Amino acid sequence: MTGSAVERAARAWLTHLDVERGVSANTLKAYRRDIARWTAYLDSIGVDDPAAVTERHVTEFLIRLREGDADHPPLKANSAGRTLVAVRGLHRFLALEGDVATDPAAAVSPPPPPSRLPKAITVSEVERLLDAAAVGDTAGSLRDRALLELLYGTGARISEAVGLDIDDVDVEAGVVRLEGKGGKQRLVPLGSYAKKTLTAYLVRGRGTFSAKGKGTPAIFLNQRGSRLSRQSAWSILRSAAERANLTGHLSPHTLRHSFATHLLEGGADVRVVQELLGHASVTTTQVYTLVTVQQLREVYAQSHPRAR
């Protein structure tokens, strides 16, 4: 069998994946391509024995993937991570087979994916969305408007909103009790708009639905008088977004992101927003400050005479 010891080891691993593991043809093709780049890299630095590969070699190869070279463009984090998976698979196989004493790739982690800032919409877009939810004066439109007002007005997760019972809301006091992850409860104020629309739904809309059901305590009900599902709530938002002509990806979590972003833009302390969102750590909430910093940069770049 021709080729260096590294290349022979790579072929043995690929054969193992094909014959013994039965991976798909597409997966095998991707692994073959990734391992070919790895073996070519080792050959370029004069390493032709799997036992001579060190953790430093794997780390430097990962850096090369991210930075690119004369023959290859830089890879994004996900693509570089996929290639590293192939490299780790090869050396894990060699270690388990006893061909090498240690696995040099075991401690090398894939690059973290780029942080994705939460998607928030503007206040005017929120208003368009909420107005579009109230089509006519039916029980359904009262419910839909109340649901979306509550999602935006409290920053509730969709599961928290549809999980609300009558006893969880004190409209007169203007407060709602939300149960978040791990059963952790928090009290969140109800704004005037949420109070108004929720009152209208409870007085003039909910009874239409509850008359068809079996006496569930849920606030938001479907046409059968049962608790509204997350899927139905998502459908309500999507329909309102279409009527409001809001393009792009819009989800119930978008309103939660917008709630947090608009509070911070209005001067709210990040720890207050943390409590309102029900985050266990303020670090989780601080991602929203990146949104507002980005907006500040954009305004600065457009407005300041010496920004460019």
Query: pLDDT of 215-251, one tens digit each?
Result: 899 999 999 999 999 999 999 999 999 999 997 778 8
> What's the angle, vertex CA 215, arms to CA 256 and CA 225, rounded to 5?
60
Q: Annotated catalytic, 72?
A: no
Same domain (yes/no): 149, 23:
no
CATH of the domain at 139: 1.10.443.10
Same domain (yes/no): 65, 10:
yes
From the number of C-beta atoms within 10 Å of its C-beta (0-12, 13-18, 19+), residue 190 rates as buried
Q: Annotated catalytic, 288?
A: yes
For residues 125 and 284, which has the higher predicted lDDT (pLDDT)?
125
* 105 falls within a domain: no
Q: Using CA atoms, how far apart are residues 112 and 237, in angstroms rounded to an integer?
A: 32
CA distance readout (Å), 181 to 148, 152, 178, 219: 21, 19, 10, 20
Q: What is the pLDDT of residue 171?
A: 92
Q: SS3 for 104? A: coil
- Kindly state the average pLDDT of the residues 195-221: 95
Q: What is the pLDDT of residue 77?
A: 87
Q: Annotated catalytic, 253?
A: yes
Q: Using CA atoms, how far apart are residues 77 and 96, in angstroms rounded to an integer?
A: 28
- Between the ranges 20-24, 196-200, 249-253, 276-280, where is the mean pLDDT highest? 196-200
Please tell me the total count of domains within the chain: 2
Q: Which one of 253, 271, 297, 300 is the catalytic residue?
A: 253
For residues 151 and 120, which has the higher predicted lDDT (pLDDT)?
151
* 118 falls within a domain: no
- Are 51 and 9 in contact by the 8 Å Cβ rule? The answer is no
Same domain (yes/no): 11, 146:
no
Residue-wise pLDDT tens digits, 18-58: 998 888 889 999 999 999 999 999 999 999 999 999 999 99
Same domain (yes/no): 285, 140:
yes
Q: Using CA atoms, how far apart are residues 286 and 280, in angstroms rounded to an integer?
A: 12
Same domain (yes/no): 30, 147:
no
pLDDT tops 90 at residue 152: yes
Same domain (yes/no): 55, 169:
no
Q: Which one of 31, 41, 152, 288 is the catalytic residue?
A: 288
Q: Annotated catalytic, 76?
A: no
Strands (E), the chain: 169-170, 175-179, 185-189
* 203 falls within a domain: yes
Q: Which one of 157, 195, 257, 262 is the catalytic residue?
A: 157
Same domain (yes/no): 192, 63:
no
271 Rama sector, left if φ>0, alpha if ψ -120 to 50, beta otherwise: alpha
Q: Which domain holds residue 60?
A: 5-97
pLDDT tops 60 at residue 1: no
* 10 falls within a domain: yes
pLDDT tops 60 at residue 68: yes
